Amino acid sequence: MNSDSRFDIKKLLSNQLLIPFTALIILCLINLINDPSFFQITVGTNNAGNTVFSGSLITILDYGSELAILAIGMTLVTAASGGQDISVGATIAIAGSAMLRVLCGGNTRPDTLAAPIIVGFLVACIVGMLCGAFNGMLVAIFRIQPMIATLILFTAGRSIAAWINNNELPIVPDPKFAYFGGFIPGIPIPTTVFIALACIIVAALMLKFTNLGLYTQAVGINESSSRLNGINPTAIKFISFMILGLCVAVAALIKVSRLSTINYSVIAKDIEMDAILAVALGGNALSGGKFNMWASILGAYIIQFLTTTLYKFKVDSAALPAYKAVVVIILVVFSSPVVRQKLQQFSNKRAAATAKKEVA
């Protein structure tokens, strides 16, 4: 029996989901001690008169879903290119602004939709993928470091977004448009949860029915070897950025829908950092290579869990990043090779010690 438990400890330590689950448990405990009502879910009526669930957990599901969608694309970009896309927030602004322009037809206060919502969304998808293609081109073809390449859109994106609508803030007249970032009448669960679920299912199907996972990991681990096995590393990196572009478009739909308008300088601000953090918290190496998509998605919800928890502790939103930074430090240090090696040595030593005892 002793040997069984030893085996489990070793397996647990090497499991990628160890970090996110530990983080989740710690967060739950903190909230339980601080204020058990954190876990309460109440049924109420929202502004639109719908019966909806509310409570901290619902908020986490709602906003965590945005992050989860972005984490899908960010995981692929990280794995293939060994770097991160920091232009996500800015490209959400661009895609969202393009969508508004199409839906409102250039008017600031239109009475009716200038185009069906689906057309607006498709335009957002195209714009998102174009932004992804731009980043992908710089990274895959010109071999610029991903963070430097995406710094361009990070810097210019919000100005481009404002320029698309002549710096006006058009408001979408159709109340149906608000469903995407809110609730569909009769369904008490936030719509974002369903959108995220759809994205996760698509991602799962993609990973199951194509070789995207294998190719991406191979390129991220050893580009030269992948090429000699017939894989086109340039194409794989390019595709990963395009997929992130699609994720950005979906996130833009949710973000714009929440307000039915846009705020160029604030929309999706710093969201790229949370998305990257989600990938890291999922135990994926930010230097690329092997990845676990589900761990990233779990990571996304945990990041939101953390944010909501910090709000519960009355942390000012301006001070929030400082607290998150502490989490990042702990995370990065614990997943560093040095600490991992030490942990491994420790568990080996323990194993050896117990083995000795058994012999005695």
Partner 1 sequence: MEENRILEMRGIEKSFPGVRALRGVDFSLNKGEIHALMGENGAGKSTLIKVLTGVYSKDNGKISMPGAEDIQIHSPQDAQNAGISTVYQEITLCPNLTVAENMYIGRGKGVITNWKKMNEDANKILRSLDIPATATQQLASCSIAVQQMVAIARAVDMDCKVLILDEPTSSLDEQEVEKLFGLMRDLKSRGVGIIFVTHFLDQVYAVCDRITVLRDGTLVGEYAIADLPRVELVAKMLGKEMDDLADIKGESAGYQGDIVDDVVFEAEGLQSDAGIKPFNFYIKKGEVNGFTGLLGSGRSECVRAIFGADRILGGKVKMHGKEVKIAKPLDAMKNGIAYLPEDRKIDGIVGDLSVRDNIILALQVLTGFFKPFSKAKAQAFAEEYIKKLNIKTASADTPIKSLSGGNQQKVILARWLLMHPEYLILDEPTRGIDVGTKVDIQKLVLELAGEGMSVTFISSETDEMLRTCSRLVVMRDRKTVGELSGDDLSQNKIMETIAGGEG
Q: Which two tokens stand for residue 314?
A: 């009355």
Residue closer to partner 1, measured from CB, 227 or 269:
227
Residue from 30, 173, 289, 334 in contact with partner 1 (CB under 8 A): 289
What residues contact residue 317 under an 8 Å CB cut-off, 6+ apart? 311
Exposure string of 185-202, with b = 16+ CB inside 10 Å and e = fewer, is eeebebbbbebbeebbee
Residue nearer to partner 1 on the CB measure, 226 or 309: 226
Cβ nearer to partner 1, comparing 184 with 207? 207
**Shortest approach of partner 1 to residue 202 CB, angstroms?**
15
- The mark string for 189-218 relative to partner 1 (x by CB under 8 A, - otherwise) is -------------------xxxxx-xx-xx
Tokens 């199951």 belong to residue: 208
Nearest to 237 by CA among 212, 205, 201: 212
Cα–Cα separations (whole angstroms), residue 108 to 37, 100, 258: 42, 10, 18
d(CA 342, CA 61): 36
Q: What's the min distance (Å) between Cβ of 144 and partner 1?
A: 18
Strand partners, 43: 53
What number of chain residues touch partner 1 (CB under 8 A)?
A: 22
Look-up: residue for tokens 């608000």? 178
Q: Which two tokens stand for residue 355?
A: 């083995």
What element of type H or E holds 45?
strand 42-45
Matching residue, tokens 């239109």: 110
Which one of residues 6, 258, 269, 290 is an interface residue with partner 1 (CB under 8 A)? Answer: 290
Q: How far is the CB of 220 from partner 1 (least distance, A)?
A: 9
User: Between residues 296 and 308, which has the closer beta carbon with respect to partner 1?
Assistant: 296
Our CB check for partner 1 shows the closer of 269 and 290 to be 290
Chain residues 214-273 in contact with partner 1, contact rule CB under 8 A? 214-215, 217-218, 221-222, 224-232
Which of the 8 DSSP states describes residue 82?
A: S
Residue for token pair 């589900």: 294
For residues 260 and 47, what is the distance between their CA atoms, to the nearest angstrom? 14
Inter-residue contact 172 to 100 (CB < 8 Å): yes
Q: Which is nearer to partner 1, 12 or 32 (CB)?
A: 12
| CB of 6 or CB of 290, closer to partner 1 | 290
User: CB of 58: closest distance to partner 1 in angstroms?
Assistant: 37
Q: Does residue 10 interact with partner 1 by CB under 8 A? A: no
**Can you give the binding site for partner 1, defined by CB under 8 A?**
208-212, 214-215, 217-218, 221-222, 224-232, 289-290
